[in-house]
Structure 1
Amino acid sequence: MTKHNIPRPRLSKLVISNFRCIGPKPVVIDLDEIVVLVGPNNSGKSSILRAYEVVMCDGSKNGELNLDDFPNGKIESHALPKIELHTVVYDHSPGEKWIDETSGEKVVRELWTWANIGKAKRQGFNVTTGEWDDSVPWGAANVANSRRPQPHKVDAFSDPEVQSKEIIKLLTSIINDRVKSFINPKIDQEEQSEFVKLLEQVKTIQKSIISESQDEINKAQDGISELIKEVFPGYKVVFDSRPEDDIEKSISLFKAGSKLLMGPEEGFQSTIDRQGSGARRTLLWAALRYISESSSKNDRPHVLLLDEPELCLHPNAVREACRVLYDLPKTNKWQVMVTTHSPSFIDVSRDNTTIIRVERNAEGEIEGTTVYRPNKIMLNDDDKVRLKLLNICDPYVTEFFFGGHTIVVEGDTEYTAFKHVISQYPDQFKDVHIIRARGKATIISLIKILNHFGSRYSILHDSDYPTLSNGNKNGAWTTNENIRNAVYCHEDPTKVRLIASIRNFENAFLGEEVSKEKPYNALVNLMEKPNSLKQIRDLLEALVNHAARIPHGFIEWDVLEDLEKSLNNRTELNHFS
């Protein structure tokens, strides 16, 4: 494999401790093409974004800490900020002693520790000694950074001027990439771009200046070498000017004060920092969409660190922003990490997304729990299609990622009935999420995701009939067993309560078949009949509290024969043939 065909190093893990609101218990973040951080306010999500940016900017001002970045704003020797980064590499350029292959991949570990405000001490993990070493992989910070993505961080509530500068930086870096990608040594001089011709002129001038200055350079080398020999006999100093290395860095395509203007085509256009928050955010998404839909031959990757992307966006723009966000890594040049409070920015049908819930535990410590990784859930193609359609129909379907007790129901009628009960008894059913699958088979796909959490949840589905009216087998009846089998894949199936509505929810609840306007009829019944309201309230309580009694018309089941027996009893009771 040639040098140009070797994949870029891939960031795989971030470990953070004693940084801002994150305490001594390390928070471990598994990195993917897209990482979505969810959780309550003030739980450390923005701190994780900042930690990511810090290590990506090692050696620059953005890689330095101030006092506010230390726990409780104090510098204490037993609680120094530490950030550890794991990088997967595909060659041996870091050096053999830094590469750990025990996982099956080539992993390089680096550690940054701040003993005071300002710059960190960077170390590499030496796999030969099994200890942290003061020498480091790839050497100097600027060399190591060239192997990593270039960070672009947009905070939720940045000063407008700061936010506009970041957008301009993002755009100018991409335009620079585009222009510099035009360099092609195989093209004749006459056909080269003006930029390439300018580079050649600068190269010639620099070589000429170095040649004219060589005598002075030699005198300086010899003088310093004589002084060095007094301490290190036989040593000499050589100044290697390298006038032809990184020649493109000698040219800036944009003035330092470059501005980006926005406004009506025929009207007044003002700078980005004078636009409203919504306009700045919309411009950001437009820039990202342009980047995701275009390509460059330049191989420097990027990482987008975005805090609460849903802020200030018109509802119509939210779905478009989500699409752009998830399409960005398709160029193979971007990683994305976002914090969000919006279920709309979670798409479980994608293969490249890790979702991490950040929250405080009972002791007040911040924890980062990876609640979703597609490669561990093993969704099949049908699952992905169902989840994609469900996400389109109901952008809030992924509320369960944000905590609370999750109840999956089959259709709109159950969803409407339970939402009405929750509105009447908000204190009793606080933090209860009702997820409508909008189809029986989709319940199985949702169960696979919920099982990955390892937490408690409940399922309510229609039992349906074993056979159709024409005597053929009913596929919906077979799905019952598939739902039960999916529940058994939970690491502890006792955490799941599986309840069936005998025949269907409308029949169990209303005692009759309803063919149209089912949610409306259920809602009217609840509002007009106190006994109906009590029945559905008791059912919801049974779904939340797994020890609570289940009302008549519904059954907690485990064996298909028991479900069929309850169905037959219900049929006889209702005088159905």
Structure 2
Amino acid sequence: MRLVGVRVKNFRTIGPQEQFLDLSQTLTVIGPNNSGKTNLLQAVQMLFTGHDNGHGYTVSSDSPQGRGARTSIVGYFEGDVDEADLEFYRELDRLYAMFELTRPGPSVALYLTFSGSDNPTYSFFPNQRRPKDRSVQASISKVQKQLVIDLLGNFNCHFIPSEKSMRELIDDVLTPFIRAVVVDVLTPQIQAIEEELDGVSSNITDALVASGVNGLSASFGFRGGSIENVLGGFDFYLSDPYKTSLSRKGQGTQSLAFMAALHWVTEREKALKKKSIWLVEEPESFLHPKLSHNATKLLDTLGHSATVIMTSHSMAFVPHDPKRVVGTHLDGDGSTVIESFTSHEKATSALRRGIGLRFADYFSLGTLTVFTEGQSDSQHLRWFLAKSEHWVGCQWPMLRQATLSDRGGASELAGFLRANYEILRREQPTVSLFDETTRA
């Protein structure tokens, strides 16, 4: 079973206008701060809150501005009818039959809403009238509840917030799986461990009896009855070639190592017949720009075996396929709106606008710029401006404030203008100075 899309309405900054996330492939969400990117990730996570509301939805904090608008989250799933999901589809067909309906295909829509008392309600048929027969109604409720449990149980959804420390992320995400691996190794030795503990217990009991205390004996067992509870945390080391604790590495190296570990966790969950969903908030946090390529490659590869959704402010994390990126902004009512892009250029342009970054900043250009062919042209122009500073009618205040930028030759300037002028001219005034006839 795969999660291929999520539709959200009335959740935090997401208002009454439904917003849709296509999760058929790895998706990156870009946009300015406080435009609802994280809320979209958490809406996906909330889909898996379960009947017991494990993610703690409350109307007061999760309904838009606490107004009590009815939150709706719809998950769209697709499975393999002839393979691992066959039993699920059989039960789903049984539910369809109770409504006197026929399942149209492998796509499954699961609807989640919340009552005013914060209780989650799941349904496969939110607008379908139930049969009047009460025994059939009871059967519908029982079958539907178990189907929801089975469907959500196919997934492990992990939210990776940017504000958590690396130690916290490792303890939350990685340590439980490492502990499980160690338990698998230790399980065949449990009898020998228990015999050793019995020896310790006997020694203590003998000491009590020797001191005159009768009727009292000691014993040891695993805390909570499980050997897993005996195991604490684990230290994470990297060698380059000297073995060093992960915590002593730079934040960028720590982040890369953690992203690499997500691949192993995904494989462990796959072995448990679970599909991993990774909701990654601003993976560029703490990364040196040179490491961005490594990080995007790790996350792209992760997306081949798991569902990956990330938010980002970094140009390096904007995928070149426009179908894999969406933007967010707030409308006039302050509600989050998702926008799609037709090209990588439009996506990066929207990101630059959202974070206040100009394309011109990459070329160290000033507010006003004069492009020249080469260094000698810039020097001659500076000489003339200095020479004419006090001449009548030669004030030219804007020209004197402009940045002079030489491009290394006439052909280089012509090529630069062909590639960039359409973008630069929208951002700031620019003048190009050619001092001789040039074939452009």
TM-score (norm 2): 0.60
Which whole-Å CA distance do the structure 1 matches of 2:368 and 2:180 have between them? 49
Percent same amino acid at aligned positions? 16
- Letter of the structure 2 residue corresponding to residue 359 of structure 1: H
- Letter of the structure 1 residue corresponding to residue 314 of structure 2: S
Q: Is 1:354 the equivalent of 2:324?
A: yes
Q: Is 1:14 the equivalent of 2:21?
A: no
- Letter of the structure 1 residue corresponding to residue 19 of structure 2: V
Q: Is 1:81 the equivalent of 2:78?
A: no
Q: Is 1:93 the equivalent of 2:99?
A: no
- Letter of the structure 2 residue corresponding to residue 284 of structure 1: F
Which residue is 1:520 aligned to?
408
Q: Equivalent residue of 2:341, what SS?
A: strand
- Letter of the structure 2 residue corresponding to residue 90 of structure 1: D
- Letter of the structure 2 residue corresponding to residue 152 of structure 1: H
User: How many angstroms does 1:127 deviate by?
Assistant: 8.3
Instruction: Determine which of 50, 54, 60 is the counterpart of 2:46.
Output: 54
Instruction: Determine which of 366, 373, 383 is the counterpart of 1:424.
Output: 366
User: How many angstroms does 1:363 deviate by?
Assistant: 4.2
Which whole-Å CA distance do the structure 2 matches of 1:30 and 1:12 have between them? 6
Which residue is 1:330 aligned to?
304
- Letter of the structure 2 residue corresponding to residue 357 of structure 1: G
Which residue is 2:315 aligned to?
343
User: How many angstroms does 1:251 deviate by?
Assistant: 9.4
Q: Is 1:300 the equivalent of 2:283?
A: no
Which whole-Å CA distance do the structure 2 matches of 1:329 and 1:48 have between them? 18
* Residue-by-residue CA offset, 1:210-269 (whole Å, 9 max, x unaligned): xxxxxxxxxxxxxxxxxxxxxxxxxxxxxxxxxxxxxxxx99673376312135778885
Which whole-Å CA distance do the structure 2 matches of 1:416 and 1:119 have between them? 48
User: How many angstroms does 1:35 deviate by?
Assistant: 1.4
Matches within 5 A, 1:268-417: 269=245, 278=252, 280-290=254-264, 297-331=271-305, 334-348=306-320, 354-371=324-341, 399-400=348-349, 402=351, 404=353
Alpha carbons of 1:344 and 1:145: their partners in 2 closer, same or farther (altered >3 Å)? same
User: How many angstroms does 1:349 deviate by?
Assistant: 5.7
Which whole-Å CA distance do the structure 2 matches of 1:85 and 1:137 have between them? 15
Alpha carbons of 1:426 and 1:543: their partners in 2 closer, same or farther (altered >3 Å)? closer
Q: Equivalent residue of 1:283, what SS?
A: helix
Which whole-Å CA distance do the structure 2 matches of 1:84 and 1:287 have between them? 30
Contact (CA 8 Å) 1:11, 1:88: kept in 2 or not? yes
**RMSD over equivalenced CA pairs, Å:** 5.1
User: How many angstroms does 1:113 deviate by?
Assistant: 1.7
User: How many angstroms does 1:575 deviate by?
Assistant: 10
- Letter of the structure 1 residue corresponding to residue 290 of structure 2: N
Contact (CA 8 Å) 2:8, 2:43: kept in 1 or not? yes
Which residue is 1:254 aligned to?
228
Which whole-Å CA distance do the structure 2 matches of 1:294 and 1:368 have between them? 34
Which whole-Å CA distance do the structure 2 matches of 1:423 and 1:37 have between them? 29
Higher relative contact order (CA 8 A, sep 6+): 2
Which whole-Å CA distance do the structure 1 matches of 2:159 and 2:325 have between them? 19
Which whole-Å CA distance do the structure 2 matches of 1:263 and 1:82 have between them? 44
User: How many angstroms does 1:48 deviate by?
Assistant: 0.9
Which residue is 1:69 aligned to?
62
* Residue-by-residue CA offset, 1:180-224 (whole Å, 9 max, x unaligned): xxxxxxxxxxxxx986999xxxxxxxxxxxxxxxxxxxxxxxxxx
Contact (CA 8 Å) 1:155, 1:307: kept in 2 or not? yes
Which residue is 1:41 aligned to?
33
Which whole-Å CA distance do the structure 1 matches of 2:413 and 2:294 have between them? 39
- Letter of the structure 2 residue corresponding to residue 369 of structure 1: E
* Residue-by-residue CA offset, 1:499-546 (whole Å, 9 max, x unaligned): xxxxxxxxxxxxxxxxxxx942369989xxxxxxxx99x96589649x
State the aligned residue count: 340
Which residue is 2:161 aligned to?
155
Instruction: Determine which of 144, 152, 160 is the counterpart of 2:151.
Output: 144
Alpha carbons of 1:324 and 1:399: their partners in 2 closer, same or farther (altered >3 Å)? same
* Residue-by-residue CA offset, 1:253-291 (whole Å, 9 max, x unaligned): 733763121357788858x6x987546523312312545
Alpha carbons of 1:295 and 1:111: their partners in 2 closer, same or farther (altered >3 Å)? closer
Which whole-Å CA distance do the structure 2 matches of 1:169 and 1:145 have between them? 23
* Residue-by-residue CA offset, 1:53-79 (whole Å, 9 max, x unaligned): 11123145543213322222x252xx1
Which whole-Å CA distance do the structure 2 matches of 1:64 and 1:339 have between them? 22
Which whole-Å CA distance do the structure 2 matches of 1:165 and 1:154 have between them? 12
Which whole-Å CA distance do the structure 1 matches of 2:127 and 2:188 have between them? 44
- Letter of the structure 2 residue corresponding to residue 139 of structure 1: Q
User: How many angstroms does 1:418 deviate by?
Assistant: 10
Matches within 5 A, 1:99-118: 105-116=105-116, 118=118
Which residue is 2:402 aligned to?
none
User: How many angstroms does 1:150 deviate by?
Assistant: 0.6
Contact (CA 8 Å) 2:175, 2:234: kept in 1 or not? no
Instruction: Determine which of 165, 169, 172 is the counterpart of 2:171.
Output: 165
User: How many angstroms does 1:170 deviate by?
Assistant: 6.6
Which residue is 2:384 aligned to?
none
Which whole-Å CA distance do the structure 1 matches of 2:237 and 2:262 have between them? 19
Alpha carbons of 1:43 and 1:89: their partners in 2 closer, same or farther (altered >3 Å)? same
Alpha carbons of 1:116 and 1:402: their partners in 2 closer, same or farther (altered >3 Å)? same
Greater shift after overlay, 152-161 or 49-58?
152-161
- Letter of the structure 2 residue corresponding to residue 69 of structure 1: D
Which whole-Å CA distance do the structure 2 matches of 1:519 and 1:398 have between them? 28
- Letter of the structure 2 residue corresponding to residue 259 of structure 1: G
User: How many angstroms does 1:40 deviate by?
Assistant: 1.1
Which residue is 1:566 aligned to?
none
Q: Equivalent residue of 2:409, what SS?
A: helix
Which whole-Å CA distance do the structure 2 matches of 1:142 and 1:291 have between them? 22
User: How many angstroms does 1:100 deviate by?
Assistant: 7.8
Which whole-Å CA distance do the structure 2 matches of 1:251 and 1:173 have between them? 16
Matches within 5 A, 1:170-181: 171-172=177-178, 175=181
Contact (CA 8 Å) 1:292, 1:330: kept in 2 or not? no
User: How many angstroms does 1:171 deviate by?
Assistant: 4.0
Which whole-Å CA distance do the structure 2 matches of 1:276 and 1:574 have between them? 50
* Residue-by-residue CA offset, 1:159-181 (whole Å, 9 max, x unaligned): 666433323357448859x96xx
Which whole-Å CA distance do the structure 2 matches of 1:42 and 1:313 have between them? 22
Which whole-Å CA distance do the structure 2 matches of 1:141 and 1:39 have between them? 33
Alpha carbons of 1:162 and 1:18: their partners in 2 closer, same or farther (altered >3 Å)? farther
